[in-house]
């Protein structure tokens, strides 16, 4: 059975090698192989061009090589083919580590200490300008988006003694060990009592510019906004204005509307912004390929082309 593979990542060849080794009873084909697209029922992809997708007329199941699926859903020719996205504990661990690092950067005022080091300034506890670190138990972290990654991040923060609350777009189906809001009328309350907000929102029609002027104005003026979900969820113009207006408001941004971020973009030069290049939750190749393989085996056994993405919700 032929399985089509496509991606443009730096480690593409490593992915291809591991996939071919795991799927040794199947033929993994790429564009270079000039395949007969009509015979392909499965495709493992990331950022597939629409003109190539159109050729996959008989594809029955698409495997996204990451947790996100907007790169498939946004294809002009996408025709509701079932999608399997990666759900992996290693990705969740990486996401949690990244979020915790940014929380600590803000909480311990580390950016200022690094700046003081360059100027050889000793701003210790005897200095008038010393800022005492906030205790974990005195910080409320709001998690915006409670999928598999968001839930893992929330529970990791809970274990470290932070106060945690969550917000999602539907009523929780399982019990959580922290408060979870889901009604639109409760969003302002969720936002206003959070010292830190971590956005792990997917990219859907409902989340575009979700974090806008109104949202930002509801946040505390000395808050931290972390975005590790999708860049489309933030109105960047509104955020830039907010950051310039409130110098003690901070943002840690890993995702952006257009990537890579242009050198002329204001985010680079704002002192109250941390920019990272979409690396908060990188896919771990071995475990991701194993996950794809297990789903593939189950689909073949059951003879049902079923994905794990709700196409109506977009995630």
Predicted pLDDT of residue 1: 83
Domains and CATH numbers, the chain: 2-88+283-302 (3.40.50.720), 89-275 (3.40.50.720)
Output the CA–CA distances (angstroms, integers) from residue 277 to 46, 48, 174, 254, 274, in the order listed: 17, 21, 34, 6, 10
Predicted pLDDT of residue 174: 87
User: What CA–CA distance (Å, rounded) separates 198 from 243?
Assistant: 17
Predicted pLDDT of residue 252: 98
HSE-CB at 263 with a 13 A cutoff on CA atoms is: 0
Local confidence pLDDT in tens for the 315 residues of the chain: 899 999 999 999 999 999 999 999 999 999 999 999 999 999 999 999 999 999 999 999 999 999 999 999 999 999 999 999 999 999 999 999 999 999 999 999 999 999 999 999 999 999 998 989 999 999 999 999 999 999 999 999 999 999 999 999 999 988 999 999 999 999 999 999 999 999 999 999 999 999 999 999 999 999 999 999 999 999 999 999 999 999 999 999 999 999 999 999 999 999 999 999 999 999 999 999 999 999 999 999 999 999 999 998 999
Burial class (CB in 10 A: 0-12, 13-18, 19+), 219: buried
């Amino acid at each position: 059975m032929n399985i089509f593979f496509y991606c443009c990542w730096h480690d593409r060849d490593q992915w291809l090698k591991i996939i071919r080794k795991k799927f040794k009873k199947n033929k993994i084909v790429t564009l270079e192989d000039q395949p007969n697209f009509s015979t392909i029922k499965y495709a493992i992809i990331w950022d597939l061009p629409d003109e190539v997708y159109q050729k996959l007329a008989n594809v029955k199941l698409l495997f996204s090589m990451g947790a996100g699926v907007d790169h498939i859903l946004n294809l002009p020719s996408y025709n509701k083919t079932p999608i399997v996205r990666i759900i992996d504990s290693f990705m969740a661990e990486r996401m949690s580590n990244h979020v915790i690092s940014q929380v600590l950067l803000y909480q311990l005022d580390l950016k200022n200490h690094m700046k003081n080091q360059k100027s050889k300034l000793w701003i210790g506890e005897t200095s008038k300008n010393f800022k005492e670190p906030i205790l974990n138990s005195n910080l409320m972290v709001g998690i915006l988006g409670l999928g598999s990654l968001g839930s893992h991040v929330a529970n990791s923060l809970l274990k470290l003694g932070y106060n945690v609350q969550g917000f999602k777009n539907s009523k929780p189906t399982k019990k959580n060990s922290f408060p979870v809001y889901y009604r639109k009328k409760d969003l302002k309350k969720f936002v206003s009592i959070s010292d830190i907000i971590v956005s792990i929102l997917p990219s859907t029609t409902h989340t575009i510019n979700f974090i806008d002027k109104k949202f930002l104005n509801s946040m505390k003026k000395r808050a931290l906004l972390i975005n590790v979900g999708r860049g489309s969820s933030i109105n960047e113009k509104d955020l830039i204005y907010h950051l310039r207006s409130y110098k003690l408001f901070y943002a840690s941004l890993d995702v952006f509307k257009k990537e890579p971020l242009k050198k002329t973009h204001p985010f680079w030069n704002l002192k109250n912004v941390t920019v990272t290049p979409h690396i908060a939750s990188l896919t771990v190749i071995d475990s991701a390929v194993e996950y794809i393989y297990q789903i593939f085996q189950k689909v073949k056994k059951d003879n049902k082309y079923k994905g794990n993405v709700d196409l109506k919700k977009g995630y």
